Amino acid sequence: MSFTSLEFLLFLGLCLSLLHATRGLSVRTWLLVLFSYIFSLTFGIGGLALVTFLAVVSFAIGGKIGTAESDRARERWLWLGLCVNLLPLAFFKYSNFIASNVAILLHPLGFNVRVPANVVLPIVGVSYFTFTAMSYLLDVYNGKIEPSHSVGEYLCYIAYFPKLIAGPIVRAADFLPQFRRGFQVTAEDIEVGFGYFLVGAVKKLVIADHLAGHVSMIMASPQHYNAATLLQGVIGFTVQLYADFSGYSDMAIGCARLMGLKLPQNFLMPFSSINIAEFWRRWHITMSTWFRDYVFLPLEIGSRGMRSALVRAARNILITMLLCGLWHGASWNFVLYGGVHGVALAVYQLYSRVRQARSVAPSAFHLGTLGARTLTLSVVLLSNVLFATRTLPAAFTYFNRLLTWSSDGVSLGSPYILPLTALVVVAHLFINKDRNLIEEVSNYSMPIRIFAYSTLLFALTALVASEAVPFVYVRF
């Protein structure tokens, strides 16, 4: 069931009607669990079983961590909980990738390893609810939160349908206190939630879905197109990815807000960033902060014995981003994608240290705002070739033809890519990157609010793409 389908709108309307018609936290909790389970069932019974299994086991282990009498016992329970959550993810998402690479390594030695057929994921978005459960266990272990004492509450935290498939990745410390207050919905919540849902739908249906057709054609066969078309393709893919994924996040945030729950922001004008570190503070925020808190910082703490803090941080950044790339998918394209960003972040860290040390002539190392933004976006665009193509050979073909500016090949003039890219660029240029206009609209005068919502509704009715495209990030 897609957020952009009529079925989902009816489903959401029924859920909200029953939720606000009932009283009592326990009744509302189990009602949300029921609707979250119904939503999961639309993707198959296997996914529902997996979500339930991970939720029940994580709930029980979280309780054991909270009541264990010794640090050693707590650590053992934590490792058990992490393994239980990671094993299904490793099997369903990475088993074929691992088997294929083992077969390649053993083939020169005379071993012919038969690679099994691709394992079918029991549910889309398996990475999201797995990381949600892991963050809960780690936060309980580190004493940041108390373990939940309600099975229904924890089931809803794991399986909550607006964020189940593609995030945002929600922390228990943010979600559970709101949940326990009992879904207190104000008129502002309803208006802001409606605004988020409309903006997300416009991003997805008007921008991302219009771009998807031509972008997919270019990315699928880079050898057939000239360099100008390939540049157009990677720009279009970058904008499509942003509009698609931030659109999903906005719609998820809007759904939750209509229930009185605030999910964390996942995107905040990322193309306004003046360096690669800022980009990752604005792009897929809940994922980047998850890897920062649960991968990078523990690596930093565990390697304090290294003499050079700069080398230590660079190594830990690279490890973190390689794992982040692998999180996106079982492919060397994604691993290399993470590696490119890891190297870029490490180089930026070195550049920042040098600038701080060069107190005599800092201007020699200052790129300027325009140059810094251009360099940042260049890294993002080139790395997205790895993200969008299916294999490394296809990515290398893309890079070769683009960087050598090949003139041979088909020239595709898309009527959507450049205009829609310009629209997104203008928004990033003129909207303050630290403001959230969706949250602010409800404070404006009534004529401005009516105009804003009417414009969004008009765009949805008049400019929607003729063919709906699945959300990009649901496959992760």
Residues 31 and 149 placed together within one structural domain of the fold: yes
Cβ atoms of 174 and 264 within 8 Å: the answer is yes
**315-359 tens-digit pLDDT:** 999 999 999 999 888 889 999 999 999 999 999 998 888 777 765
Q: Are residues 196 and 151 in the same domain?
A: no
Q: What is the mean pLDDT of the chain?
A: 88
- Same structural domain, 164 and 198: no
Kindly state the tokens that stand for 289.
């902060």
Q: How confident is the model at residue 359, as a pLDDT?
A: 57
Q: Indicate whether 132 and 239 sit together in one domain.
A: no
Number of domains forming the structure of the chain: 2
Q: Which of 249, 243, 163 is nearest to 206 (CA)?
A: 243
Q: Which of 184, 202, 221 is the last residue of a domain?
A: 184
What are the distances in angstroms from CA 81 to CA 47, 72, 422? 19, 14, 47
Q: Are residues 196 and 124 in the same domain?
A: no
Sequence letter at residue 93: K
Six-digit token string for 335? 């691993």
Name residue 291's beta-bridge partners. Answer: none
Rounded distance, CA 348 to CA 340, Å?
12
Is 211 in the same domain as 164? no
* Both tokens assigned to 133: 């459960």
Q: Are residues 221 and 147 in the same domain?
A: no
The reply to whether 296 and 400 lie within a common domain is yes
Asked if residue 154 and residue 133 are part of one domain, the reply reads: yes
What is the domain extent for residue 394? 189-475
Q: Given this model, what pLDDT does residue 362 score?
A: 42
Planar angle of CA 279, 282, 287, nearest 5 degrees: 105
Residue 117 has a pLDDT of 61
Verdict on whether the full-model pTM lies above 0.75: yes
C-beta of residue 386 within 8 angstroms of C-beta of residue 393: no
Catalytic residues: 328
Separation CA 93–CA 125 (nearest Å): 10
Domain co-membership, 111 together with 206: no
Q: Residue 1: inside a domain, yes or no?
A: no
CA distances from 318 to 57, 131, 135, 292, 383 (A): 32, 20, 21, 12, 15
Task: Give the pLDDT confidence of 91-135 residue by residue, as tens digits.
Answer: 878 877 887 878 778 777 777 767 666 655 556 667 888 899 999
Q: Does 376 reside within a domain?
A: yes
394 domain-assigned: yes
Q: Give CA separation, 2 vs 16, 37, 154, 379, 458, in Å.
A: 17, 15, 24, 32, 21
Q: Which pLDDT belongs to residue 476?
A: 63
In a domain, 65, yes or no: yes
Q: Decide if pLDDT at 249 tops 90.
A: yes
Say what the pLDDT of residue 323 is: 94
Domain boundary among 184, 219, 247: 184
The reply to whether 11 and 84 lie within a common domain is yes
CB 300 within 8 A of CB 457: no
Angle, in degrees to the nearest 10, between helices 227-257 and 187-202? 160
- Claim to verify: residue 405 and residue 348 sit in the same structural domain: yes
Q: Where a domain ends, among 184, 219, 249?
A: 184
